[in-house]
Amino acid sequence: MGRPPCCDKEGVKKGPWTPEEDLVLVSYVQEHGPGNWRAVPTRTGLMRCSKSCRLRWTNYLRPGIKRGNFTDQEEKLIVHLQALLGNRWAAIASYLPERTDNDIKNYWNTHLKRKLQAGARSTTSSRSSPTRPTASMGLPQPAPTAAARRPPARRPRRCPSARPPRLGRTCSPPRTSR
């Protein structure tokens, strides 16, 4: 008998969360606290996978999250930490408690990577050896997370193209930023 899937694929809702689902999840977490995500779908009646619940909470519903509008200071910190730690977004996020790893990852991939590439292109002629930043460059202390303990190396994915088509984004709340 193989390992069962993390959640029942039949009857599990995918795609954007509705405000009603958010409300259910928030009230559950307020009552029981975050954790034991496995129990959340059964206890709340949400037709969502436990992973989806955890992700929604940590990336969107968790209190104290700042969204969008990265400051110059945050941007510099992310660039510095990325050079220092690599793509360990959770570890980087631990230095920015108001930001989520997903947010930082997105910001890096959409803004900073491009920015740095453009900068690198303009300075390729004057290529002194890049000064690799050190951990003692005035960084705040990270919150202790499991991410900080994990090694950065990961295996390549097995079949990246075998994915079912996504459901349409039909009922997400209107975007606030931009």
Partner DNA sequence: AAAGAGGTCAACCGCTAGAGC
Partner DNA sequence: AGCTCTAGCGGTTGACCTCTT
Among the listed residues 19, 35, 97, 140, the single contact to DNA using CB under 7 A: 35
Establish if 88 lies at the interface with DNA (CB under 7 A): yes
Establish if 147 lies at the interface with DNA (CB under 7 A): yes
Establish if 163 lies at the interface with DNA (CB under 7 A): yes
Q: Which of 150, 134, 156 is nearest to 88 (CA)?
A: 150
Among the listed residues 30, 109, 117, 123, the single contact to DNA using CB under 7 A: 109
Establish if 144 lies at the interface with DNA (CB under 7 A): no
Q: Which is nearer to DNA, 130 or 151 (CB)?
A: 151
Beta carbons within 8 Å of 94's beta carbon, 6+ residues apart: 142, 143, 144, 145, 147, 148
Rounded distance between C-alpha atoms, residue 63 and residue 58, angstroms:
9
Q: Which of 35, 29, 83 is nearest to 61 (CA)?
A: 29
Determine the length of the chain: 178
Rounded distance between C-alpha atoms, residue 148 and residue 37, angstroms:
22
Structure token digits, residue 100: 């989520």
Whether 36 and 21 have beta carbons less than 8 Å apart is answered as no
Binding part of the chain for DNA, among 3-11, 73-81, 124-132, 133-141 by CB under 7 A, reads: 3-11
Establish if 121 lies at the interface with DNA (CB under 7 A): no
Establish if 117 lies at the interface with DNA (CB under 7 A): no
Contacts with DNA, residue ranges (CB under 7 A): 1, 3-4, 6, 13-17, 34-39, 48-52, 54-56, 58-60, 67-68, 87-91, 101-103, 105-107, 109-111, 114, 145-147, 149-151, 154-155, 157-158, 160-166, 168-170, 172, 174-175, 177-178
